[in-house]
Amino acid sequence: MENKRSPEVGTSLTPMLPMNVKSSSRRSLWRRFIAQRHLQVMALLGVAWMIIFNYIPMYGIIIAFKEFNIVKAISEAPWVGLTHFKEFLQDDNLPNVIRNTLGISLIKLCIGFPLPIIFALFLNEVRSVRYKKAIQTISYLPHFLSWVVLGGILATWLADVGIINHILQALHLIDEPISYLAEPKYFWTIIISSDIWKELGWSAIIYLAAISGVSPDMYEAATIDGAGRFQKMWYVTLPAIKSTISILFILAVSGVLSSNFDQILVLRNSLNDSASNVIDYYVYQTGILSGRFSYSAAVGLIKSVITLILLLIANKVSQKINDTSLF
C-alpha cells in the first residue's frame, strides 16, 4: 500500500479553502448579476434616484440651526443654534397645532385602520366573483382621484346649496342649510370620513392579497370542525394575516404626526382655521408663505425625530407581541 504523507508541521491547507470559496462566490454573484443585468440596472436607477433626491438634500437640514436667507448660500448663513427650536416650543399656536394633528391622526388610526381589514374580511366571503369585482372596483376608484378634484367635489356637496343640505332638509333633519366647511366643529368629521371613503378600498387590497395566500386546507379543516363563516374569519383568516396587519400598523403609527397635507390644504379656510391648523400646514404657512425657511426646517426636523421614535417604539412592541417587525 502506498504511504500517505501527513502535512508537515507548520503547514495547513485550511486557509486556502475560504479563499476558494470566496472566489467561487464572487464568480457566482457576478454570473447572477450578468444574467439579471436588466433588472439590476432598473434597481440601480431606483437607488440612484433615492440617493439624489432623498439623501443628498439632507445636507440642507442644517438651515434649521442657521438664519438662512434665500438670496445667500447655506454656507454663508450665520449659526443660531437651537433658537428656532426654542421659538417653536414657546409659540402660542403650538397647543392648538398639536391638538389638531394628534386628534385627527389618532381618530384616523382608531377608525380608519381597522375598517379596511373588516372590509377585506367580508369581501373575501362574497361568493359571486362578478359582484365581488364590482364592489372592489367601486370601493378603490376614489383613490385615483387627487385631493384637488375630490376637494372640489366635497366643497360643492357641503355648500349651503349642496346636495348634503338638500337631502337633510328633505328628510326634515335640519331646518336651515349649514355651511359645513365654515364651521370648525364639523371639520374633523369631514376630514376623517372623506379620507376613509377615499382610501378604504385601496387599503383593503393589501389584506385581500394576504388572505388569498391562506391555505384552503385550513378552511376545510375548520369546516370539518363545525366552524361557521365568522369563526373562520376570527380563528383562521385573522391569525393568517397577522404579520401583514402588524407591518401596516407600524407604518400607520409612524405617520401619526402627518395629517394628509393635500387634504387639509384643499378643505381648510380661514373660518375653520382653529380646527384645521396641523403641523404640516403650519410648516407650509411659516416656511413657504412667510419665508421663514430656517424656522420651518426646525419644526420639520422635530417632527421627523418624533416620527422616528414612534416607528422604533411601534416596531419593538410588535416584535415583542407578534414576533413581527420591519427590522
Q: What is the pLDDT of residues 146-204, one digit of tens each?
A: 999 999 999 999 998 889 999 999 998 888 999 999 999 999 999 999 999 999 999 99
Provide the pLDDT for residue 15.
47
Percentage of the chain lying above the pLDDT 90 cut: 58
List the one residue out of 295, 299, 304 whose CA is nearest residue 67: 295
Per-residue pLDDT band for 7 (boundaries 50, 70, 90) equals very low
Q: Helices marked H in 83-161 — which ranges? A: 83-89, 94-107, 114-124, 129-140, 147-157
Distance in Å from the first CA to the final CA of the chain: 59
Q: Which helix (H) or strand (E) holds 215?
A: none
Contacts of 151 (CB under 8 A, 6+ apart): 263, 266, 267
Q: Are 247 and 324 in contact (CB under 8 A)?
A: yes
Which pTM does this prediction carry?
Answer: 0.82
Residue 129, burial from CB neighbour count under 10 angstroms (0-12, 13-18, 19+): exposed
Whole-angstrom distance, CA of residue 210 vs CA of residue 207? 5
Domain ranges of the chain: 16-65, 74-322
Q: Are 298 and 64 in contact (CB under 8 A)?
A: yes
Over 60: is that where the pLDDT of 210 sits? Answer: yes
- Taking the alpha carbons of 175, 198, 139, 212 in that order, is the dihedral positive or negative? negative
Over 60: is that where the pLDDT of 317 sits? Answer: yes
Which amino acid is residue 263, in one-letter code? Answer: Q
Cell of 68: 438662512
Percentage of the chain lying above the pLDDT 70 cut: 93
Mean per-residue pLDDT over the chain, rounded: 88
Per-residue pLDDT band for 326 (boundaries 50, 70, 90) equals confident
Instruction: Report in angstroms the alpha-carbon separations of 299 from 72, 246, 254, 286, 306.
Output: 22, 29, 17, 10, 11
CATH architecture of 74-322: Orthogonal Bundle (1.10)
Provide the pLDDT for residue 259.
80
